[in-house]
Chains A and B, each alone.
Chain A
Amino acid sequence: MTSLANAFTLVAVGCGALLFLAGTLGLLRFPDTLSRLHALSKADNLGLGLIVLGLLPQAESFAGGLKLVCVWLLAQISAATASQLIAGVLYRRKSRP
């Protein structure tokens, strides 16, 4: 059972890291600032979600697992809000004559 949990952790955390790599690649490769924001907010959120999911079987207690999930939720809310605020500033600057 432990080895199954460890395998799950390895796969999920590995996929999470791959998504963080994708977010960074998008940041470097996408053509404009707004498209780069898509890469950062969306890929990193899924990456963090997979890492949290992978770490859950390794949590020492229920409270520890709950803390991981709360950290992911807070990160998701802040990423969604921050990317929108940055996008709004960029859009206003662009549309200003």
Chain B
Amino acid sequence: MTTEIGGTPLLARLTRGLGFLALWLILMGPALTDLPIGLIAAAAATWTSTALWPENGKLSASGLVRFLIRFVPQSAVAGVDVARRAFAPRPALSPGFVTYRTSLPPGMARSASCAVMSLQPGKLPVAADADGTLHIHCLDLREPVAEQIAADEAAFCDTLQSGGVHG
């Protein structure tokens, strides 16, 4: 099918819409009386997703698997790390800011990478300059933060099929 609306093929939009409708059905149950609301929600989600994430932004399945294998344990380590510091008689913290020059272009990819980083141990991106400099709040500046951020970003870039690193 080659019909295109606003740059996104109709078939791709339909697939996304069906995906969102499936998510609605999982969350709300298959009651027929709720279905009109589900259809409206799925349409709204599809419209939003096409604006935020154009069809050319493809993901690499193998990259995504490698990313998840790294992300899930790291996310657990982040929770345990915070818990350890919170339960310590004196919270062992050395908070402060670091800057890191990201290679991701502004937009969805950079925002998503920042959201992922905020779930990794000890890091929380707070601002991004126009030249790609990220300001990141760290719980403990004594740790090798810059190396961790570079490794996190490399794992994230691995999920983008186009690489997303030219910017």
Q: Does A90 belong to the interface (CB within 8 Å)?
A: yes
- Which label, helix, strand, loop or mixed, suits the secondary structure of the B interface? helix
- Output the nearest chain B residue to A94 by Cβ-Cβ distance: B126
CB distance from B45 to the nearest CB of A (A): 12
Identify the stretch in B8-16, B54-62, B77-85, B143-151 within 8 Å (CB) of chain A at 4 or more residues.
B77-85
Partner of A26, one of B27, B80, B86, B114: B86
A31 touching B83, Cβ below 8 Å? no
CB distance from A88 to the nearest CB of B (A): 6
Partner of A90, one of B75, B122, B126: B126
Number of A-B contacts (CB under 8 A): 109
In the assembled complex, which residues on chain A have CB atoms less than 8 Å from the CB atom of B93?
30-31, 35
Partner of B95, one of A32, A42, A43, A83: A32
Contact with B along A1-45 (1 / 0, CB 8 A): 000000000000000001100110110011110110111011101
Partner of B86, one of A22, A45, A63, A76: A22
Q: Does B44 belong to the interface (CB within 8 Å)?
A: no
How many A residues touch the partner, as a band? 35 or more
Asked, given contacts A30-B93, A46-B79, A83-B124, whether A76 binds B114 with beta carbons under 8 Å apart, the answer is no
Which residues of B does A touch, CB under 8 Å? 23, 26-27, 75-76, 78-83, 85-87, 91, 93, 95, 114-116, 118-119, 121-122, 124-127, 135, 137, 139
